[in-house]
Structure 1
Amino acid sequence: MAEDEIDYNIVFPDAGTTERHWQGTKEPVVILLGWAGCKDKHLSKYSAIYNEQGCVIIRYTAPLKTLFISEPIGYKELRGMALKLLEILYDYEVENSPIFFHVFSNGGFMLYRYIIELLHSDKQFSSLSVLGAVVDSAPGSRDIPGALRAMTSVLGPRVSPLLRFLLLAVFAVVIFLLRIVLYPLTKFIHKNHYDAVQDRPPVWPHFFIYSKADQVVRHSDIELFMETLKLKDVPVDNFNFVSSPHVGHFRDFPEQYALKCRDFLVACVKDLQGTEMKRRHRVQDQ
């Protein structure tokens, strides 16, 4: 793979499934943004939810070094990845289809933050139509214990105890300095994902899936974030699975999870169609 490319997967539905669900209208393109350390085999289980609905699926997970090193120190490597992801829509000529995001944990949300910024500011993407976004187990604010638990999970059992301790110690010091001690100053140069999206949120609807049992991202962070979006007139809905672990809601409640995602997608499509119908009526009345 060329150095300037990203390692993504795209899946197209069969024509019969698309026609059955969307009946001549453009099928949605669902972009799944994986959590830190997520493998494509994990994301593919989620993509099946939407593939069965006749959607085009794009799956991508940002590299660990970008999430845990580049982003915390303010090197915006994720912005370039966000740009390439949006350009894929043009490469496969699906830029006129409605776009839908499914975002996992802070790892996916960090990348989503830059996608939002590009959709706000880059004229190249001004014609893209975003339906909405499902946000699973995110976003979390400056929670060092949660970040360390996420890092521990990513390192896994293969890493020796000594190396794991050293990596976690260095990571904790960096996060504490940049995101706690120095953040009142560094935020003017580089805001974290939580504050950046709160300050300038997208206008499309969001559905937050979370749990009070989450040990990586505090449910209070997600609930505060939702309230902030509501105050800025962003349509927000949510579901608290209560007992499932971080990004474990689909595993513990597969049928309920899939149904809620599909229902939200269909509702977003209906809202978009209603908006377009009103726009056509306004034009005809002029």
Structure 2
Amino acid sequence: MAASSARLLAVAAAAAAAARGRAAATFRHAPTVSSSLSFPPNPHHHHHHRPSIRGRAGISFSSTSISLPSSSLHASVPFNLFPPDSDPFIQWDPPPPDAASPLAAGAACRGAPEGPTLVVLLGWLGARQKHLRRYADLYRDRGVGSVRFVVPVRELLGLDLGRRVERRVADLAAEISAWCDADHRRTLLFHTFSNTGWLAYGAILENLQSRADIIERIRGCIVDSAPVLEIRPEVWAAGFSAAMLKKSSSMTGPSAESPDGYTSNGTLNNLSSDVTRPTWGENILLSTLQKFFEIVLHLPDVNKRLEKVHSVLSEKQPSCPQFYLYSSADRVIPAECVERFIDMQKSLGQSVFAHNFVSSPHVDHYRSFPHVYAAKIDEFLKICSIARDGNSL
């Protein structure tokens, strides 16, 4: 099973190169390196290996190779798909000096003035710090500092079943705790992107289960282009394909069900048949990734950990307002999945708000409708400022 999973990933990487080039020549002549990929029986058994760049999980990343120990499978993988990452995983943008928190007004009315507010920006798979910077600036203009967290695609391709990312999330949870501990008046917001950011949020909540004092300081959560609660291989395949192909992916363009022209308030405008359609290479990549995730997501260890995070997100979210920003045109996260989760949260008595942008692609709502997006954030901050104990007034 492990060798089959690794072989599928190698084929997927090659297919991604072909899709990027839009031609078979790219598939045949992409720069390659010898790569051995495998699932170790227990990732923790390989911690004594020292990789050349990042010393975890027995994975070696260098300018010439990607290798895992204990594998007899060798495949040619286009290395230029996953260039070395220069971005830090965690980037802090402290609140502006003497900035008034947008949540302070409501707190003052209750006789309990609050200190600075920090928004935790949890990026989509493959997001870079420069991508999240625009959202950080949006909040900074409103007196809110930020901490940005990204997950590069190659960070999940070490095949240690996501444990390295879990450790990164645990580090972030520790830094957030330290920031809150420095001043008991400090408050938090979370803004997640796609299923990767949403699952990172669930993992942070899991890490903070013993810190009820910090959970109580979470004043709101914005969920952009998520969630899908069910473990669905086709959704994971679509997300990874979009992250690997970036702008070459049809997932980032308008869908056949939506126009590529729309008004500034997100309503439909004039119809068009000029829709980005998947190339043969992208179809191969999607098919291969789906088969890959049909195996990986049902491995007992992976399935158990995902179910645990899903349980936290569905049943143990903080009693603070939730805001879901999504689109009917999203090809990665189906709108009906988001709406089903919204209904579930409402049935649990949570304070839930939502806005359907109708025609914008996956995690592209702010770029497609900047004024509407910013206005919706302002509305939600006002809701959070007058909310207490999770009940909006």
Choose the corresponding residue for 1:7, options 89, 92, 110. 89
Could you tell me which amino acid in structure 2 is paired with residue 271 of structure 1? A
- 1:126 is matched by which residue type in structure 2? A
Task: Give the corresponding residue for 1:31.
Answer: 120
Supply the distance in 1 between the matched residues of 2:363 and 2:247 (Cα, whole angstroms): 22
Distance in 2 between the 1:9 and 1:38 partners? 13
**How far is 1:54 from its partner?**
1.0
Which residue is 1:18 aligned to? 100
Q: Is residue 2:197 matched to residue 1:79?
A: no
Specify whether residues 35 and 241 from structure 1 end up closer, same or farther in structure 2 by C-alpha distance, changes over 3 A only: same
Higher normalized helix content (fraction of residues): 1
Aligned partner of 1:203 among 308, 315, 319: 319
Greater Cα radius of gyration, structure 1 or 2:
2
Residue 278 (structure 1) aligns with = none
Structure 2 match to 1:247:
363
Matches within 5 A, 1:57-72: 57-67=146-156
Task: Check the 8 A contact 1:205/1:236 in 2, yes or no.
Answer: yes
**1:35 and 1:104 in contact (8 A); partners too:** yes
Verify the 8 A CA contact 1:109 1:139 in the aligned structure 2.
Answer: yes
SS of 2:124's partner is coil
- Rounded Cα–Cα distance in structure 2 between residues aligned with 1:96 and 1:77: 32
In 2 relative to 1, CA 94–214 (structure 1 residues): closer, same or farther, beyond 3 Å?
farther
Which position in structure 1 is the counterpart of 2:45? none
Query: Which letter does structure 1 place at the counterpart of 2:350?
Result: V
Native 8 Å contact 1:33 1:103 kept in 2: yes
- Alignment map for 1:186-197 (pairs within 5 Å): 187-188=303-304, 190-191=306-307, 193-194=309-310, 196-197=312-313
Match for 2:226: what amino acid?
A
Residue from 172, 185, 190 that aligns with 2:290: 172
- The change in CA–CA distance for 1:171 and 1:90 in structure 2 (over 3 A counts) is same
2:331 alignment partner, one of 215, 226, 232: 215
Question: TM-score, length-normalised on structure 2?
Answer: 0.58
Tell me by how many angstroms 1:236 deviates.
0.8
Q: What letter is aligned with 1:116?
A: L
Written as runs of structure 1 = structure 2, the 5 A alignment for 1:1-286 is: 7-18=89-100, 22=104, 25-67=114-156, 73=161, 75-92=162-179, 93=182, 96-119=185-208, 121-122=209-210, 125-128=211-214, 129-140=217-228, 141-156=230-245, 171-179=289-297, 182=298, 187-188=303-304, 190-191=306-307, 193-194=309-310, 196-272=312-388
Given that 2:96 and 2:144 are in contact with CA atoms closer than 8 Å, whether structure 1 keeps it comes out as: no
The offset of 1:200, in angstroms, is 3.6
Q: How much has 1:250 moved relative to structure 2?
A: 0.4
Compute the RMSD of aligned alpha carbons. 3.5
User: Residues of 2 paired with 1:266 and 1:256: CA distance?
Assistant: 15
Q: Count residues with an aligned counterpart.
A: 266
- 8 Å CA contact 2:155–2:164 kept in 1: the answer is yes
Give how far 1:270 is off.
Answer: 2.0
Task: Compute the displacement of 1:156 (Å).
Answer: 2.3
8 Å Cα contact 1:213-1:243 kept in structure 2: yes
User: 3-state SS of the aligned residue for 1:115?
Assistant: helix
Deviations along 1:175-220, one digit per CA (max 9) or x if unpaired, are 11344xx479974564275455224433222100000000000011
**Identity rate, percent:** 25
Structure 2: stretches of 5+ with no match in the other structure = 1-52, 57-87, 106-112, 249-278
In the alignment, the residues of structure 1 paired with residue 159 and residue 205 of structure 2 have an alpha-carbon distance, to the nearest angstrom, of 19
Of 24-33 and 195-204, more deviation after overlay is shown by: 195-204
Equivalent-residue separation in structure 2 for 1:252 and 1:9 (angstroms): 25
AA partner of residue 12 (structure 1): P
Take 2:246 and 2:185, find their aligned partners in 1: how far apart are those partners?
44
Q: Secondary structure of 1:209's partner?
A: strand
DSSP-derived class of the 1:34 partner: strand
Secondary structure of the residue aligned to 2:220 is strand
Q: What is the deviation of 1:171? A: 3.0
Other structure's SS at 2:320 match: coil
Secondary structure at the aligned position of 2:221 is classed as strand
Q: Secondary structure at the match of 1:103?
A: strand
> In the alignment, is the contact (CA less than 8 A) between 1:203 and 1:234 conserved in 2?
yes
Contact preservation (8 Å) 1:78, 1:114: no
User: Which moved further from structure 2: 217-226 or 89-98?
Assistant: 89-98
Q: Indicate conservation of the 8 Å contact 2:237/2:293, yes or no.
A: no
